[in-house]
Amino acid sequence: MEASHGKEALILKATLQLISEYGFHGTSMAKVAGRAGVSAGIIYHYFSNKESLIEKLYIREKHHFINLVTAGLDQSLTVRNQVRFLVRKTIEVSVLMKEEMMFMEQFLQSPYNRPEIQSTVNAMQKPLTDVFLRAKKEQIVKPLPDAVIYMLTLGTATKLAQQHAEGAVHADDELIEQVTDACWEAIRL
């Protein structure tokens, strides 16, 4: 019963791995099939084309990522602490989901990215962005454009995980706490 969907999952997993390893350019449908242990043709049974395969993978991974980051978000905390929670969690989850993060970063700069996709993602991110909006409304963070606020916090968090993945730094608990501090200092009023 889940065997029928097993193949679709294998294809998605293989795509994720290959793109994180070799990039979009180095990931052909034939390689995906090979890594997934299926024939090339069957991919088109589950996905209408390469673009659709990659889009669906992106949406799925982004969804998963957001779920992990917002899981355990405690609304009874102060907004300040909710912001810090989200930054810290973004780093932690990004560090753990190395392949997924590399894929998602690459996607953003690939020709597969389209405004409609980011609209979909923005809608999914609402639970997350709401916290930052509230912080701005309560005037505990600077009155900067939303995009700048996210860049200074979640963007930085993601970048730290990238540096960790590249081996440039080691993101242990202490460093994660320090960077969470730094992000907060960047936006606090």
Task: Tell me the C-alpha to C-alpha distance, in Å, between residue 186 and each of 117, 157, 180.
Answer: 29, 12, 10
- The residue to which tokens 């973004």 are assigned: 90
Close Cβ partners of 98 (under 8 Å, ≥ 6 residues apart): 20, 161, 165
| 57 vs 179, beta carbon nearer DNA | 57
| 106 vs 180, beta carbon nearer DNA | 106
Which letter, b or e, does each residue of 122-157 get, where b requires 16 or more Cβ atoms within 10 Å of its Cβ? eebbeebeebbeebbeeebbeeeeeeebbbbbbebb
| 48 vs 67, beta carbon nearer DNA | 48
Q: Least distance in Å: CB of 21 to DNA?
A: 13
Q: Least distance in Å: CB of 25 to a copy of itself?
A: 5
Q: What is the largest CA-CA distance in the chain?
A: 57
Interaction mask 25-54, DNA, x per CB under 7 A: -xxxxxx------xxxxxxxxx-xxxx---
| CB 73, CB 134: distance < 8 Å | no
| CB 32, CB 43: distance < 8 Å | yes
- Which option in a copy of itself, DNA, none does residue 179 bind, with CB closer than 5 to 8 A by kind? a copy of itself
Q: Least distance in Å: CB of 11 to DNA?
A: 9
- Which option in a copy of itself, DNA, none does residue 122 bind, with CB closer than 5 to 8 A by kind? none
Instruction: State the burial class of residue 12 (Cβ atoms within 10 Å of its Cβ: 0-12, 13-18, 19+).
Output: buried
Residues that bind a copy of itself (CB under 8 A): 22-26, 105-106, 109-111, 142, 144-145, 147-148, 151-152, 155-156, 159-160, 163, 168-169, 175, 178-179, 182-183, 185-188
- Which option in a copy of itself, DNA, none does residue 156 bind, with CB closer than 5 to 8 A by kind? a copy of itself
Residues near DNA (CB under 7 A) are 3-4, 7, 26-31, 38-46, 48-51
